[in-house]
Structure 1
Amino acid sequence: MTTNPKALSALGMAMRAGKLVTGDETVLKAVKQRKAALVLVAGDASDNTKKKYRDKCASYGVPLLEVFDRFTLGAAIGKEERVIVGVADYGFARMIRDHLGTHSEVEEY
């Protein structure tokens, strides 16, 4: 799986700006409270996790992208491996989507 340096850099900027939420329960809460502008799921997440977030995001109208792997997502935000990341800012969400928009490793649900 290829990486997109601009998208990863935008993720890092969002993290430093305090506009990311990570972790299963925290991201789920942000989706339910409509505070998530975008949810990113690692490509190597379990099928159960992917389905859970695909269904929940569809229900609440939050865009979901399946990108990278858990190690790449974690490294981009300066943390250990991460399977799920929520972007809580529409500007950062748009920037990340724009950078990922033309790359084949992205699957939007």
Structure 2
Amino acid sequence: MDKRQKALNFLGLIKKAGKLVSGTETVLLGIKAQKVKLVVIASDCQANTLEKVERACRLNHLELVQTFTAAEIGHAIGQKRKVLGILDQGFSLALMKKIKEGV
């Protein structure tokens, strides 16, 4: 299994652990409430969605990951989603490590 797939599988694990919110509006609310530690957005999402999420991340000093396509994200978490927010610092750091190893 390649490292990219391991990072995607890890997204599924984060979801199972209940430390993931998904969907643009839900993630934006999570960012405003300062619950989201890391944002994952599909590399093929719409420009206006990206702009909204990027702005929220900038204002809240959050890292934004654009490594995966919507199809990859959907497959990893078992739902059609383009924007994910990770609520746990430990999971966020571990995911970033996996992404950096695999890209």
TM-score by length of 2: 0.92
Q: CA deviation at 1:102?
A: 4.0
**Contact map agreement 1:38 1:64 (CA 8 A) in 2:** yes
- Residue by residue over 1:6-49, the C-alpha shift from the partner in whole angstroms, topping out at 9 and shown as x without a partner, is 11111011000000000111100100111001000100001111
Q: How does 1:10-49 map to 2 (within 5 A)?
A: 10-49=10-49
Give the alignment's Cα RMSD to 1 decimal: 1.5
- Residue by residue over 1:61-103, the C-alpha shift from the partner in whole angstroms, topping out at 9 and shown as x without a partner, is 1111112111110110122x21100000111111110011144
Sequence identity (%)? 35
In the alignment, the residues of structure 1 paired with residue 93 and residue 9 of structure 2 have an alpha-carbon distance, to the nearest angstrom, of 14
The residue that corresponds to 1:91 in the other structure is: 90
Q: How does 1:61-80 map to 2 (within 5 A)?
A: 61-79=61-79
Displaced runs of 4 or more, over 3 A: none
Aligned residue pairs: how many?
Answer: 102
* Structure 1 unaligned residues grouped into runs of 5+: 105-109
Q: Which protein is richer in helix relative to its size?
A: 2
TM-score by length of 1: 0.87
**Contact map agreement 1:38 1:63 (CA 8 A) in 2:** yes
**Contact map agreement 1:14 1:92 (CA 8 A) in 2:** yes
